[in-house]
Amino acid sequence: MAKLLITDDAAFMRMTLKKMVTDAGYEVVAEAENGQEAVEMYKEHQPDLVTMDITMPEMNGIEALEKIREQDPSAKVVMCSAMGQQNMVVDAIQKGAVDFIVKPFDEARIKESLEKAMSK
C-alpha cells in the first residue's frame, strides 16, 4: 500500500482528498497545512507520493516541490490547483511534478493521477 502526504491549507480539502485516496487503497501517513510543513513531513515520513496544493501561506506548493525534490530527486509530487492557475501548473511540471489535479476534486481523476504517479 502506497503511503501519501497530503498538503493543503484548507482542512476541508485535506479531509476530502484523504477520504478519496483511502477509499482508493492508499495510506495517508501525514498531512501538512503549508509548504514548509510539507518539506518537514516529507523528511520525517518519506511517503511514496505527495499531493501538493499550489497556493498556500508561508511557502507555496511550487517552492515546497523544489525543496522536496532537492532532498529527494525521485520524489513523486502531484500538484493540486484551482481552475485558472495553468501557468503555475506548467511551472510545477517543469520543476518535477509528476501530474496535476484540478479542484474541485473528481474521484476518478484522483485515482487515475495516483496510479500514473506510482507507475513512474
Please write the tens of the pLDDT for every residue from 22-35. 999 999 999 999 99
Judge whether 116 lies within some domain.
no
Judge whether 96 lies within some domain.
yes
Q: In sequence order, what are the residues at sequence separation of 6 or more whose Cβ sits closer than 8 angstroms to the Cβ of residue 119?
A: none
Judge whether 63 lies within some domain.
yes
Buried b (16+ CB within 10 A) or exposed e, 10-47: eeebbebbbebbeebebebbbbbbbbbbbbebbeeeeb
Judge whether 118 lies within some domain.
no
pLDDT surpasses 80 at 104: yes
**What are φ and ψ of residue 17, in 5° steps?**
-65, -40
Please write the tens of the pLDDT for every residue from 65-98. 999 999 999 999 999 988 666 788 788 999 999 9
Q: Which domain holds residue 28?
A: 3-107
Task: Quote the distance between the C-alpha of residue 15 and its chain's center.
Answer: 14
Task: Decide if 60 contacts 91 (C-beta within 8 A).
Answer: no
Question: How many structural domains are present in the chain?
Answer: 1
Judge whether 27 lies within some domain.
yes
Judge whether 13 lies within some domain.
yes
Say what the pLDDT of residue 112 is: 94
Q: Structure pTM?
A: 0.94
Judge whether 18 lies within some domain.
yes
The three three-digit cell numbers of residue 70, written as one number? 532537492
CATH code for position 95 = 3.40.50.2300
Share of the chain above pLDDT 70, in %: 98
Judge whether 69 lies within some domain.
yes
In 1-120, alpha helices (H): 11-23, 35-45, 61-71, 86-94, 107-118
* C-beta atoms surrounding 4 within 10 Å: 27
